[in-house]
Amino acid sequence: MSDQRTQVGVPVLRRDLYAKVTGAATYTVDVSPPGTLHAKVVRSSHAHARITRIERDAALATPGVVGIVVAEDLKDLFPRFGHIVPDHCILAIGKVRYYGEPVALVVAESLFAAEDAAAAVEVHYEELDAVMTAGDALADGAPLVHEEFYRAATDESFAAMAAAPTEDGDGGARDNVAHTVELEWGDVDAAFADAHLVVENERVHYPMLYAYAMEPYNAVADFRDGRLHVTSTAQHPFMVRTDLARIFDLPLSRVRVEVPYLGGGYGSKSYTKVEPLAAIGSWATGRPVKLVLDVEESIYTTRADSADVTVRSAFDAEGRIIAREFDVVLDSGAYADNSPLVLAKTVNRCFGPYRVPNLRARGRSVYTNTSPASSYRGFGAPQGSLPGELNIEKAAAELGLDSFEIRRRNLVRPGEEILRGKRGIDADLLGDLEMLANSLQSHAREDSAIGIGFTASDAGAFPVSTAQIRLQVDGSVLVLSGSTEMGQGSESALAQIAAEELGVPLDAVSVAQSDTGTGPYERTTGASRTTTLAGLALQRACTEAKQKVVAMAAEVFGLPEADIASVPGGVQVADRPRVPFGEVISRWFGAAAGEVTGVGLVRREGVTQKMPPFWEVGVVGVDVEVDPDTGAVKVRQLATVADVGFAINPRAVEGQDLGAATQGLGGALFEELIYDGPQLVNPNMVEYRVPRMQDLAERIDTMIAERGDGVGPYGAKGAGEGTLNPMAAAVAGAVAKAIGRWPTRVPLTPERVWRLMNDLPEEDGE
Amino acid sequence: MLGTFTVSRPTELGQALDLIGEESLAYWGGTELFLAMKMQLLMPGNLVDLKGIPQLREIRMSGDELVIGAGTTHDEIATDPGVRGAAGLLSSVTSRVGNSRVRAQGTIGGNLCFAEPRSDLATVLLALDAMVQLQSSSGERRLSITEFLLGPYWTAREPEELLVAVCVPIPAATGVYLKFQFTERPSVAVTAVVSDGGQPCRLAIGAVADVPALHTAESWDEFDAASIAAGIEPVPDLTGSVTYKRHLTEVLVKKAIAAVRAGERDG
């Protein structure tokens, strides 16, 4: 079988390459229906304050202003959103919970008019005590971010994605704990009592991050005749549709969410963001409304949860883990967004792909008066693996084992469970480890400081996916998918799968994605699921289409179906020449007209019954040097292993892995959103430092391990997040070896490393 | 977003000088100006676009001076054979300013007038003993870099004055320019130069305090890196605390002096 494959497993150029490089590609910002009005958001200037009065008369008198919407105008709507906890006010109701929170929406004929008027909206506040850190929020008597209780959405899929039951906190009713998760098995206390060695890393901090998609959050909404049409920068248009339908009490069929090319997402465009704002603007004015955020506004819209994690692990004399214990606290900001799931995933992923006979992991997601946190590429794995893997490195040092050997003794073997009762791991981590070791060690120098990291993420999210394939009378093929092309290359991968399944040239296949009004349902574009789940749905759609063509051919030729063979590109009867799909369709309809649609469905059944649908492995290693004078860290080598089962487009897999590793390097060495008082001090691209070309390793080795062990097409599994996840841990471990000190936080900026190596306090004590 | 403003495009220096004032700002590449306008730190009613005045874009030798028109871009200075021959260090530093877009757009005059405390040019020009030439409709004057730079984003230029040229004595001193740069702008920059004429050794330290500082001595032996570092007042920011920046200063001073003594020359 496999040697007959011609369209998959070969590197192809991205389909959007030329359009994007030449600027011809269409993004949400390019969409302007006739008569479009422009919106500007009036934002909170306090971290926590009661809104006492909003004066909009002066602003309404500004030339060109069409309307100004505030929370009290939304009384007849459901004024909140949130797919897990609907706590998120479209416009602040009664009080603001973070600096930058939307308070009013100005809609005008031009963006200039909207901006001028926004500056003229006077919001009066009565300031409240704010909680700016998770520590502040958890303190006795801390001011409450939320006084109300919000009932969580009762969708069992979210429970299925968390290994342990997650519980709503009091929703803020008594404290600031938004969610808690507890995962436990075995007898942890007994194991610690019997341990040969106990290793602890206390309060390891992972920073707040901005995903830095080059495209900020944008949306265009057109509400008319009881229908809402939104074009936006959303990864999950079907999820956004659900939130919008609830706000306006519309049937799902009357809400259309369309997503053109997405200028990067990295998880930060998961779920609803600015769509409700544009939608209420259009609802209030009866005209299309466009909302375009700048970078600073985008940073205040969503960030990654920061984490403080304490980990203790117990080992026997042979260096085998006998127990691990984690305490995780996430600073989730002012609203829950996807943080309950990020929390559940942090807990699922923090202890790593190891045999852990006794485990206790406790997590709390905490509301603070900071910008709301949500999904970010890796989804809890980076936050959890930094302490988890650093702890393994520390144990190796204390046990006298090298980084590779301690993992050889502890990594799960293929098929073994990581999470009790869940799918066993569909990867060969020991095989990956040897690839990594060979690569790094064969290029090591005498003074090399090598750090490695392993993660396994319960990936794929919840397996609900549908796809359609439409065979055209001229032999061309249209693939319809609800999965968003967000730069990851799904347009190319889906085309390759369809071409392979149907036996048609790649050029014959067109792909249309992410339009809830015309395309098929896809639950999400996240958790690295598209190749595996959308790919499976597409394979099934192709199978159905081919079966239909066989049935049609049988009718056309007056033969039993059993006499018709489905062959690449068409059907064949005995030893007669192949009849292409188009000809069968044309003869069946009796005209050069008509088409055949195949539908493919994926749910929790068969190969995708067991959760998670697949494991996404992260296997990375770095070799660093530290400048003794400045503390600056230079990465000499980066090695990654993509354990993807089968690489549909190897070029894309390598690109995704290098991209993810580089993004991980950002959190490891450079990136951090910093609050000073109510505001961020670096909400811009000059002071929020991301990796640059010169920061890349001198030697880069992106390896692909293909063992056909995934449930997706041709044995494929997802990729794209894996190599980000253990990067901070690998870099921190390498730096620890270089300087002989254990970092307790990232990013490891030059000053931090210099202070660490000189045993200086973290900050000047002035 | 930018506010509303008009743009004048004079073609002669005299016209430009008549236009420039408190509400009517000189505009070259806009790399700093537009940022300040977008942040609404500056809200001029008019911009005087000086790119159409050829004499402001000239680089020429005049006696014992290299005269660089204020409207010359970093790239133009970096690639000018005359500058390379007469002031190799300046050529080298301009090739390392900011990023390629800034070097293509930004000008020497704009850079100095904006007085960004982390400017590379101010530091190297201070070491090279350069003068700036200011002109207004009522006259002209020459100031040293020290006289010109009064503080962060603050110069001795009067609103109606235009910086028309930067004059570097030639043959220019030679030496090295070292900086520690982790983010968009340097945390500390140190340049150490000597001239053939046996002038004193000159050490300029920039980017770290409000304005660049100059130290001179007859011999490199007279410089003590630790006490020089202790004497500066670093501005703490996201690229470093006071303690760290003092430390970096000491490190770079030592390295720069060692490099110059070993005969290294940039450019």
Q: pLDDT, tens digit, for every residue of A196-238?
A: 999 999 999 999 999 999 999 999 999 999 999 999 999 999 9
- Tokens 């004032």 belong to B21
Residue B208 above 50 pLDDT?
yes
Q: Which residues of B touch A754 (CB under 8 A)?
A: 244, 247
Task: Locate A683 and state its tokens.
Answer: 């909400």
Residue A400 banded pLDDT, cuts 50, 70, 90: very high
Report the C-alpha gap between A150 and A172 in whole angstroms: 9
With a CB-CB cutoff of 8 Å, which residues 668-727 of chain A face chain B? 674, 681-682, 686-687, 689
Q: In the predicted model, what is the mean pLDDT of residues A552-563?
A: 96
DSSP characters for A256-277? EEE--B-S--TTTTSS-SSHHH
Largest CA distance in chain B: 56
Prior bond of A747 cis (ω within 30°): yes
Domain endpoint, select from A569, A603, A637 = A603
Are A290 and A361 in a shared domain?
A: no
d(CA A456, CA A465) in angstroms, rounded, equals 23
- For residue A467, the number of C-alpha atoms closer than 13 Å in the C-beta half-sphere is 32
Q: Domain check: are A619 and A734 in the same one?
A: yes
Domain boundary among A553, A586, A603: A603
For residue A178, tell me if it sits in a domain: no
Do residue A687 and residue B184 have CB atoms under 8 angstroms apart?
Answer: yes
A483 lies in which domain range?
A: 464-603
Interface test with A, best of B96, B182, B184, B246 (most A CBs within 10 A): B182
Closest residue to B180, CB basis, from A630, A674, A689? A630
Per-residue model confidence (pLDDT) at position A425 = 97
To test the contact with chain A by mutation, choose from B40, B96, B183 the residue with the greatest count of A C-beta atoms within 10 A, namely B183
Q: What is the rounded average pLDDT for all residues in chain A?
A: 95
For the domain that residue A122 is a member of, what is the CATH number? 3.90.1170.50
Does B71 score more than 60 pLDDT? yes
A575 inside domain: yes
Burial of B150: CB neighbours in 10 Å, binned 0-12, 13-18, 19+: middle
Confirm whether A48 is domain-assigned: yes
**CB pair distance less than 8 Å for B244 and A754:** yes
pLDDT for residue A169: 56
Q: Is A760 in a helix, a strand, or coil?
A: coil
Q: Which residue stretches of A257-380 are H helix?
A: 275-285, 295-301, 339-349
Are residues A743 and A701 located together in one domain of the fold? yes
H or E segment to which residue A654 belongs: helix A650-665
pLDDT at residue number A154: 58
State how far residue B106 is from chain A, nearest Cα, in angstroms: 17
- Is a pLDDT exceeding 90 seen at residue A166? no
User: Residue B246 pLDDT more than 50?
Assistant: yes
Query: Is the predicted pLDDT of residue B198 greater than 70, yes or no?
Result: no
Report the C-alpha gap between A739 and B218 in whole angstroms: 39
Question: For residue A153, is pLDDT > 90?
Answer: no
- Per the CB < 8 A criterion, the answer to whether A557 and A564 are in contact is yes
Looking at CA atoms only, how far is residue B45 from chain A in angstroms? Answer: 16
Cα separation, A274 vs A289, in Å, equals 12
In B, which residues are within 8 Å of A760 by CB distance? Answer: 243
Lowest mean pLDDT among A184-193, B84-93, B103-112, B193-202: B193-202
The confidence score (pLDDT) of residue A2 equals: 47
Q: Give A681 to chain B, closest Cα distance, Å.
A: 9
- Output the pLDDT for position B184: 87
A622 and A594 in a single domain? The answer is no
Exposure string over B154-184, b if 16+ CB within 10 A, otherwise e:
ebebeebbbbbbbbbbbebbbbbbbbbebbe
- Residue A204 falls inside a structural domain: no
The order of strands in the sheet holding A102-108 is A65-70, A102-108, A37-43, A289-292, A218-224, A227-232, A255-258
Residue A135 lies in a domain: no
A639 pLDDT exceeds 70? yes
- pLDDT, tens digit, 9 for 90 and up, residues B121-176: 999 999 999 999 999 999 999 999 999 999 999 999 999 999 999 999 999 999 99
The CA distances from residue A757 to A445, A580, A738, A743, in Å, are 22, 70, 9, 10
A296 touches chain B (CB under 8 A): no
Mean pLDDT of A7-27: 95
Euclidean distance between CA atoms A604 and A157, whole angstroms: 10
Residue A162 has pLDDT above 70, yes or no: no
Q: Are residues A320 and A443 part of one domain?
A: yes
- Cβ atoms within 10 A of the Cβ of B194, count? 17
pLDDT at A575: 85
Q: What are phi and psi of A405, to 5 degrees?
A: -65, -40
pLDDT at B4 over 90: no
Distance separating alpha carbons of residues A323 and A62, to the nearest angstrom: 66
Judged by CB atoms closer than 8 Å, whether chains meet at B241 and A763 is answered as: yes
Mean pLDDT of A634-653: 97
- Whether the CB of A634 is below 8 Å from some CB of chain B: the reply is no
A686 to chain B: which residues are within 8 Å by CB? 183-184
Burial (CB count within 10 angstroms: exposed 0-12, middle 13-18, buried 19+), residue A424: middle
Q: How many residues does chain B have?
A: 267
- Residue of chain A with shortest Cα separation from B3: A112
| Pairs across A and B, CB distance < 8 A | 39
> In this complex, is the C-beta atom of A629 within 8 Å of any C-beta atom belonging to chain B?
yes
Query: What is the reported pLDDT for A506?
Result: 97
Tell me the three-class secondary structure of A95-146, residue by residue: EECCCCCEEEEEEECCHHHHHHHHHHCEEEEEECCCCCCHHHHHCCCCCCCC
Chain A nearest C-alpha distance from B251 (Å): 7
Tell me, yes or no, whether A588 and A688 share the same domain. no
CA distance B62 to chain A (A): 39
Contact A764 B251 (CB under 8 A): no
Q: How confident is the model at residue A522 (pLDDT cuts 50, 70, 90)?
A: very high
Q: Residue B217, Cβ neighbours under 10 Å: how many?
A: 12
Write the secondary structure of A457-508 as one string of H (helix), E (strand) and C (coil).
Answer: EEECCCCCEEEEEEEECCCCEEEEECCCCCCCCHHHHHHHHHHHHHCCCHHH
The answer to whether residues A444 and A470 belong to one domain is: no
B40 touches chain A (CB under 8 A): no
Q: Is A760 on the interface with B (CB under 8 A)?
A: yes
| Predicted pLDDT of residue A148 | 83
If you average pLDDT over residues A95-103, what whole number do you get? 98
Provide the number of structural domains found in chain A. 3
For residue A163, the model assigns a pLDDT of: 63
Question: What are the tokens at B187?
Answer: 């945390």
Residues A474 and A592 in one domain: yes
Per CB-CB distance under 8 Å, the chain B contacts of A630 are 180, 248, 251
Inter-chain touch A630–B240, beta carbons under 8 Å: no
A64 touches chain B (CB under 8 A): no
Residue B213 and residue B232 in contact, taking contact as beta carbons nearer than 8 Å = yes
Element at A50 (helix H, strand E): strand A49-55
**Is the predicted pLDDT of residue A167 greater than 50, yes or no?**
yes
Shortest Cα–Cα distance, B4 to chain A (Å): 9
Is the pLDDT reported for residue B221 higher than 80? Answer: yes
- Within 209-228 of B, beta carbons closer than 8 Å to A belong to none
Secondary structure class of A544 (helix, strand, coil): helix
Please tell me the predicted confidence (pLDDT) of residue A3: 57
Are both A454 and A429 inside the same structural domain?
yes
Interface with A, mutate which of B99, B185, B188, B238 (most A CBs under 10 A) = B238
CA atoms within 13 A on the CB side of A363: 35
Residue A763 touches partner B, C-beta closer than 8 Å: yes
Q: To which residue do tokens 């400081």 refer?
A: A449
Where residue B218 falls (left for φ over 0; alpha for ψ -120 to 50; beta otherwise) is alpha
Residues A250 and A366 reside in one and the same domain: no
B39: pLDDT confidence band, cut at 50, 70 and 90? Answer: confident
Do A388 and A470 fall within a single domain? no
A750-757 and A727-739 helices, crossing angle to 10°:
40
Output B217 or A164, whichever has higher pLDDT. Answer: B217
The region, left, alpha or beta by phi > 0 then psi within -120 to 50, assigned to residue A399 is alpha
List Cβ neighbours of A436 (8 Å cut-off, separation of 6 or more). A404, A452, A619, A620, A621, A639, A641, A703
Model pLDDT, residue A172: 45
- Identify the CA nearest to B59 among candidates B46, B73, B48: B73
Cβ-contact A318, A201 below 8 angstroms: no
Q: Does B243 touch chain A (CB under 8 A)?
A: yes
Q: Tell me how close the Cα of B34 comes to any Cα of chain A, in angstroms.
A: 15
pLDDT digits 0-9 by tens, A692-728: 999 999 999 999 999 999 999 999 999 999 999 999 9
Least confident among A184-188, A337-341, A616-620: A337-341
Asked if the structure places residue A452 within a domain, the reply is yes
A115 touches chain B (CB under 8 A): yes
pLDDT at A1: 44
- Contact yes or no for B183 and A682 at CB 8 A: no
- Average of per-residue pLDDT across A524-536: 95
Whether A366 and A334 have beta carbons less than 8 Å apart is answered as no
User: How confident is the model over A402-420, as pLDDT tens digits?
Assistant: 999 999 999 999 999 999 9
Report whether A81 contacts A271 (CB < 8 A). no
- Residue A164 pLDDT > 70, yes or no? no
Q: Would you state the structure tokens that stand for residue A229, as one six-digit string?
A: 């049409």
Asked if residue A430 is part of any domain, the answer here is yes
Same-domain pairing of A548 and A530: yes
DSSP state of A659: H
Report the distance separating Cα A577 and Cα A569, nearest Å: 12
Asked if the structure places residue A632 within a domain, the reply is: yes
Which residues is B141 bridged to in the sheet?
A: B134
**How far apart, in whole angstroms, are the C-alpha atoms of residue A152 and residue A392?**
36
- Joined tokens for residue A570: 């068409």
- Asked which of A273, A301, A329 is the last residue of a domain, the reply is A301
Which residue of chain B is at minimal alpha-carbon distance from A755? B244
Distance CA A45, CA A124 (A): 10
Angle at A721 between CA A717 and CA A725, to 5 degrees: 120
Which has the closest alpha carbon to A209: A677, A731, A728? A728
Amino acid type, A212: Y
Nearest to A73 by CA among A84, A88, A87, A89: A89
For strands A177-185 and A359-367, give the pairing.
antiparallel
CATH number of A686's domain = 3.30.365.10
B-contacting residues in A 313-352 (Cβ below 8 Å)? none
Q: Amino acid letter at A207? A: P
pLDDT for B2: 78
Structure-block tokens of residue A698: 């001198």
